[in-house]
Amino acid sequence: MSAFTFDPMFVNFDPTGAGSIRSFRLRNEGSKSIAVRVQILTRESLEDGSERNDPVPEGSFLVFPSRFIIEAGASRTLKVQWRGGDPGEKELSFRIVAEQVPVALEERQGSGITFLFKFIGSLYIRSPKAVKADVRVVTAKGIESSGTRGIELRLRNEGGIHAILADFKMALPTSSGNSAELPESALSVVEGNNILAASERVFFIPYENAEVGVSYDARIDFKPES
C-alpha cells in the first residue's frame, strides 16, 4: 500500500519578500512510486462549519512543482509563492490540497486496489497591517433541537486574523442576577473551532435550563490561538 506524509499543515505567508515563499516536504512512506497533485483553493467558512472552496484566481500563487512522482521511500520539496499582493487589515485564508492521483504507473506495476491519500492544509496571507482577532457574541438564544434544550450561539470574528477558540468558557445570566458558567462537556462543540476573519459560526450548546425563545446576554472567554 502506498502512503505519503505532508508537512507542515499550517503556514502563514508574508505578502511580499522572502516570507511570501514557503516550503513543504512530502515523503513517500510506501513501497511503490506514487503520483501527487498539489493545488491551492479558496476558503470561505460557512456558519455551520462547512467550507466553500474554489480554484484560486490565476496568478495569485505559484506552486512548483504542482504534479510529480515520488519514488518509494523518497522525499520531495514543494515551493509555494504568494503573488497576490498585500491584503491589508484582513488576512486571506486558503487551502492547500496534496493528493495522490491514480496514474498508468500503478497499472504497469500490476497493483490491484489503489488507496489514495489526501492532505488538506491551511494557508494564511497576513500583512503587518492585519487587525487582531475580535470574536464577539452576535446572539445567544434558547432553542430546542431534536428534543434537547440548549443555546444557539452565533459568534462573529470582527478582527482581521483567524481565531482558534481554546479554553472556551461561556456564562449566562440567571434569574437571581448572577451568572451560571456552562460545563466544559457542553462547550466541547465550540472548543478548538476556527473562526476566520470577518466570518460567523453558529453552534448548538446543550443546556437543560435554557428557556426556548429567550435571548441571553452570554459572556464568553477564551485564549485565541492563530
Could you tell me the domains of the chain? 4-125 (2.60.40.10), 135-225 (2.60.40)
Higher pLDDT, 103 or 181: 181
Return the pLDDT at 115.
53
Which pLDDT tens digit goes with each residue over 119-176?
999 999 999 999 999 999 999 999 999 999 999 999 999 999 999 999 999 999 877 7
Judged by average pLDDT, the poorest of 8-22, 169-183, 191-205 is 169-183
What is the average pLDDT across 77-104? 94
What is the value of pTM for the model shown?
Answer: 0.89
State residue 110's pLDDT score: 45
Asked if residue 211 has pLDDT above 90, the reply is yes
Res 191: pLDDT = 97
Q: Give the position of cell 478582527.
A: 159
**Amino acid found at 103:** V
Distances in whole angstroms, Cα of residue 105 to Cα of each of 101, 108, 128, 220 = 10, 5, 46, 54
Q: Which three cell numbers stand for residue 138?
A: 452576535
Alpha-carbon separation of residue 140 from 11, 50, 195 (angstroms): 33, 21, 17
Q: How far is CA 35 from the centre of its chain?
A: 25
Give me the percent of the chain exceeding a pLDDT of 90.
85
CA atoms within 13 A on the CB side of 177: 0
7 contacts: CB under 8 Å, gap ≥ 6:
24, 25
Give the pLDDT confidence score for residue 114 in this predicted structure. Answer: 53
Task: Report how far residue 218's alpha carbon sits from residue 171's, in angstroms, rounded to the nearest whole number.
Answer: 6
